[in-house]
Structure 1
Amino acid sequence: MRPASARRLASALLALAALTPAVLAAPSVQAAPRTTVHPSVQRSADDCPLDPVLAARLDKAIEAVRKETGTPGVTVGLWMPGRGTYLRSFGVADKATGAPMRPDLFMRIGSETKTFTATAVLELVDQGLVKLDDPIGDYIRGVRNGRKITIRQLLEMRSGLFSYTFDKAFQTALLTNPTRSFTPQQLLAYSHSHKNLFAPGARFDYSNTNYVLLGLLVEKLGRMPLADFIRERVLKPSHLDHSFLPVGAEFPSPHAHGYTNQTLSGAVEDSTHWNPSWGWAAGAMISDLRDLHLWAKEAATGTLLSPATQAQRLKFIPVGDPSGLGYGLGLLTSHGWLGHNGSLPGYESVTVYLPQQDATLVILLNTDVLHNGAEPSTLFATAVTAIATPSNVYGAPSQR
């Protein structure tokens, strides 16, 4: 979710076009990386450490990407049953104090919020309260072409609705006062001031407007605020005790400071306490490494949904070039990995699951400053998977 840049398919599509072979072969570093493992997220008795040689290769590659991209701090968790667990934090969580990055910190997760909102919608489908092919206009008034845009098309980013995050008036309002609050209705007003981009279902286009509408749908049919529905119906059943949709800029401690150049001047600023209400159902949630480790597999396997509904969720539409990338109902796939990434000012993340190996990868970092046009989270994920799962390299061009 990047309000002040040109249309960013990369935010949803892993910035494939920016990747080069150099990313896969990270340069060597002169000193051992500064890493930490916090007791609150230490491995369970059922886990074992990853092979030391493999872990050392990952240390070297991650620290190389961190230095190349200028990322202040990053945490990487990789769980590979039968092979072991890798858990490291590199760099700093606060540039002012030098406090180290730690695996137990709360982080803003941006568009990974969509996986939770989509799950809430699909639970309503399972309840029989809405059908995937119902028009959104049956439930929410004032949507451009709402009588033809379906719930499914909102979930899979094929509605044609203009994303409010690319509206210049919205960008100015946000960046002039990044601590202000936005209501869902205000966000939709920015979108509805533009014509639709194409007929419903005609093509894929990543639009945050879709998920604001889905959030309102959950509130209407679920008869409670979206934050409450997600907490009661998604987070509690999944035992995610460190995740929530904030009302405003609240951010529990301990948390990492975030750094962004999505500012009026273009200079890098501390965005830790910016108000993420503008992201709402599309990107405002907060979580941590432990919860995202659990959520990756749950979202990919459909623990909270009926098998039939999960099967609909996993109908991925091929998107982007090169091949190997697809988008389903609030989930993406990249060369076998299933999950989502997230980006908003100061923070980026990747949370994905690889069914073939029952493997989970979570990456959390405290910057969204691009490196040669690429999302740094994608560069980290590519470097890790190129070493750990070379047959399933996240975000890398297909070899077929």
Structure 2
Amino acid sequence: MRYSRMRALVAVAVLLVVQAPAAALASARDLPELTPAVTARLDSVIRQTLRETGVPGVIVGLSAPGKGSYVRAFGVADKATGAAMKPDLFMRIGSETKTFTVTALLQLVDQGKAGLDDPIGRYIDGVPNGDRITLRQLAGMRSGLFNYSEDPGFFKALTGDPDRPFTPEELLAFAFKHPPMFAPGAEFYYSNTNLILLGLVVEKLGELPLDEFISRHILKPEHLDRTVFPTDAAFPAPHAHGYTNQTASGDVEDSTDWNPSWGWAAGAMISDLDDLRTWARVLATGALLTPETQAQRLTMQPALGTSMKMAYGLGIFNIEGWIGHNGSLPGYGSLTIYLPESQATLVVLLNTDIAYQGQEPSTVFGRAITEVVTPDHVYDLPKPPATPSPSPS
């Protein structure tokens, strides 16, 4: 999840050009073999990006069948001790939680317990425009509901006491103080409020707490044993320390143990590199869903303007052919994406959410890496507008 600068929190994630590589490194349809020459090039651009952005540490995993595997960690996991970042550390993954919550909803759709065009008012009372906003519009970020994490009162409550727990009902109350931004379906607007509502729907129809439903129906079947939906501030060890400037004072603080309940279904989860490499493929290929439902999930609409270079489906995006999601919350950033043409997987994990030149640090690293290995499919997002607004992250 992501805060807007110094005032209100923005959405949890979709949201430095290093010297361009020779086009011969990759074709339009394939990832190059991860030879020593290519891995050396990756090492160089990642180290350069680390220096330029000031990110403390980064973990990167890149692989494709028949091409080899690139797994590296750079920088530090703890600025106080200087402990090195390592590939096996647990990390908070922010908005990548959305991909799990929406998958849970779509599993219930496959079971006939819900329809994507059902109004949210059928399941949850008191939602503005609840008789018109559909589950599909919530999952696709087209409900028009105000993003609770942009409410100034919420920002004050969270930064004033980062250890406090929030309930889903409290989060919705921050959102529902504001009128809808537009009529249901009229526009794209990235709002964490949508996912809080979908989490409640999963709990109601799945007859389990959201964390238990996701564990039982997603994590265990796919053997994602190092992925956790926390119900408090507990953080499995070993983990990296996270650093943020989204604080009451604006100073950089260690946010490692902040309670992630404020993100809940939109951004509370924890994972590691290996599990996310598996999840990238499962998510993009629809391994847990029927082909019909996965096809609906991957029906994309433009998310920024009218360009399909950045398109959003149901809890998932497509950026220049890379399918997946990013994430950001205080102290951490992540990116988990899959390129179907070459069955390539890229995971980037960072221990800060501090923006670089107005961009998510995960975007900066994703761009630098894909410029090397897939120059015809460069993961890229334009800088957000000067006026704070939600970004898919």
Fold in common (TM above 0.5)? yes
SS of 1:179 mapped into structure 2: coil
Hey, what does 2:83 align to over in structure 1?
99
* Alignment match, 2:19: 25
Counterparts of 1:221 and 1:119 in 2: how far apart (Å)?
14
Change beyond 3 A, Cα 1:8–1:26 = farther
User: 2:164 matched to which residue of 1?
Assistant: 180
Q: Secondary structure at the match of 1:23?
A: coil
1:1-44 deviation line (CA, Å, top 9, x unaligned): 22343688896443xxxxxxx514289xxxxxxxxxxxxxxxxx
Kept in 2: contact 1:10–1:375 (CA 8 A): no
Residue 357 of structure 2 corresponds to residue 372 of structure 1: yes
Summarize the alignment of residues 1-400 of structure 1 with structure 2, pairs less than 5 Å apart: 1-5=1-5, 12-14=13-15, 23-25=17-19, 50-321=34-305, 323-395=308-380
Structure 1 residues 49 and 83, CA gap change in structure 2 (3 angstroms): closer
How far apart are the structure 2 equivalents of 1:170 and 1:396?
A: 27
Secondary structure of 1:171's match?
helix
CA contact (8 A) 1:337 1:354 kept: yes
Sequence identity of aligned pairs in percent? Answer: 61
Partner Cα distance (1:12, 1:319) in 2: 13
* CA displacement at 1:82 relative to structure 2: 2.0
Partner SS for 1:263: coil
Deviation at 1:177, TM superposition (A): 0.4
C-alpha distance in 2, partners of 1:342/1:353? 15
How many Å apart are 1:241 and its aligned residue? 0.3
SS of the residue 2:77 aligns to: coil
Q: Kindly indicate whether the alpha-carbon contact (under 8 Å) linking 1:345 and 1:367 is maintained by their aligned counterparts in 2.
A: yes
The amino acid across from 2:110 in the alignment is D
Residue in 2 that maps onto 1:39:
none
Q: CA deviation at 1:91?
A: 0.4
SS in 1 for 2:78: coil
Instruction: Tell me the distance in 2 between the aligned counterparts of 1:302 and 1:114.
Output: 15
Q: Where does structure 1 differ by over 6 angstroms across 4 or more consecutive aligned residues?
A: 6-11
Asked if the contact 1:133–1:151 (Cα under 8 Å) also holds between the matched residues in 2, the reply is yes
Task: After TM superposition, give the deviation of residue 175 of structure 1 in Å.
Answer: 0.2
What displacement does 1:320 show? 1.2
Using the TM superposition, give the Cα deviation of residue 222 of structure 1 relative to its aligned residue in structure 2, in angstroms.
0.4
Q: Partner amino acid for 1:23?
A: V
Question: How many aligned residue pairs are there?
Answer: 370
Q: How has the CA–CA distance of structure 1 residues 67 and 106 changed in structure 2, closer, same or farther, with 3 Å as cutoff?
A: same
Q: Distance in 1 between matches of 2:33 and 2:255?
A: 35
The Cα offsets for residues 54-86 of structure 1, whole Å up to 9 and x where unpaired, read as 001000100111110100000000012222111
Cα deviation 1:199-252 (Å, max 9, x = unaligned): 000000000000000000000000010000000001111110001110010001
What is the Cα deviation at residue 391 of structure 1? 1.1
| C-alpha RMSD over aligned residues | 1.7
The alignment partner of 1:357 has SS state of coil
Note if contact 1:4-1:171 (Cα within 8 Å) is conserved in structure 2: no
**Alpha-carbon distance in structure 1 between the residues aligned to 2:343 and 2:2:** 31
Gaps of 5+ in 1: 15-21, 28-47
Q: Kindly indicate whether the alpha-carbon contact (under 8 Å) linking 1:11 and 1:375 is maintained by their aligned counterparts in 2.
A: no
Deviation at 1:390, TM superposition (A): 0.9
What residue number does 1:36 align with? none
Structure 2: gaps spanning 5 or more residues: 22-31, 383-393
CA distance in 2, matches of 1:56, 1:120: 40
Which one is further off, 288-297 or 75-84?
75-84
Judging changes above 3 Å, is the alpha-carbon distance between structure 1 residues 94 and 49 closer, same or farther for their aligned structure 2 residues? farther
1:118-151 CA-to-partner distances (Å, cap 9, x unmatched) read: 0000000000000000000000011011000000
